[in-house]
Amino acid sequence: MRKVSEAITAAVATGENLDDIGQFTPLMVNGAIDVVQVGSGTTGITGAMQVADMAYGFELPVSMMNCPANFMAHLAAALPNHWMMEVVDVGRDIAMQADQRIENGWIVLGDSPGLGITYDEARLNELAVESPSPGSGASPWGRRRGAGLYQAGPNEPDRIDEE
């Protein structure tokens, strides 16, 4: 990615499908990223904030990518290095509503508490399935092997050894 960034005049934007701050670190340390893309899979709002803070230390702009109900708009509004946000059409989500609107290119947050998201319980019940579809997983983009299955102790590595 660094060689690509050095060879072209366009900014290299990446990271939308990365999962945590550790995966962003080598990109920033090695000058391989010009725009840090934080997605909804970046360990939620807390993880996205950690990545955005690290990007700020490297003087890199952050863009928020594909967040259902645009829930990261709240975080984006608080970041000094926020540059842009991919806006997901409010209402495209099958069973949730968000108290926000778009005006003149700006996300205008509503007055509802928290993230302003409400769920349609009846619609969720209609969508319930007895078992996952064959071949489906937790995320269409995947997770690292063992993600969420192991918590390292204070003197243990935060990984599962390959067998």
Q: Is residue 104 included in any domain, yes or no?
A: no
Percent of the chain with pLDDT strictly greater than 70: 79
The total number of structural domains in the chain stands at 1
Q: Mean pLDDT over residues 138-142, rounded?
A: 56
Q: Mean pLDDT over residues 35-48, rounded?
A: 88
- What local confidence, expressed as pLDDT, does residue 39 receive? 83
**Whether the Cβ atoms of residue 107 and residue 100 lie closer than 8 Å to each other:** yes
- The long-range contacts involving 105-112, CB below 8 angstroms and separated by at least 24 positions, are 107/70, 107/73, 107/76, 107/77, 109/73, 109/74, 109/77
Average pLDDT, the chain: 81
Confidence of residue 69 (pLDDT cuts 50, 70, 90): confident
- What local confidence, expressed as pLDDT, does residue 68 receive? 77
Question: What is the distance between the alpha carbons of residues 45 and 39, in angstroms, rounded to a whole number?
Answer: 9
**Whether the Cβ atoms of residue 33 and residue 60 lie closer than 8 Å to each other:** yes
Q: Is residue 70 included in any domain, yes or no?
A: yes
Q: Is residue 34 included in any domain, yes or no?
A: yes
Q: Is residue 112 included in any domain, yes or no?
A: no
pLDDT tens column, 48-60: 999 999 999 999 9
Residue 70 belongs to what domain range? 2-93
- What local confidence, expressed as pLDDT, does residue 154 receive? 52
Q: Is residue 57 included in any domain, yes or no?
A: yes
- Tell me the whole-structure pTM to 2 decimals: 0.72
Can you give the CATH number for the domain in which 25 is found? 3.20.20.120
Confidence of residue 19 (pLDDT cuts 50, 70, 90): confident
Burial class from Cβ neighbours inside 10 Å (0-12, 13-18, 19+) for residue 105 reads exposed
Q: Mean pLDDT over residues 89-103, rounded?
A: 75
Question: Which of the two residues, 109 and 146, has the higher pLDDT score?
Answer: 109
Q: Is residue 158 included in any domain, yes or no?
A: no
- The closest alpha carbon to 119, from 76, 71, 152, 81, belongs to 71
Is the pLDDT assigned to residue 161 strictly greater than 90?
no
- What local confidence, expressed as pLDDT, does residue 162 receive? 45
Strands 96-98, 106-109: pairing is unpaired
Q: Is residue 98 included in any domain, yes or no?
A: no
Q: Is residue 126 included in any domain, yes or no?
A: no
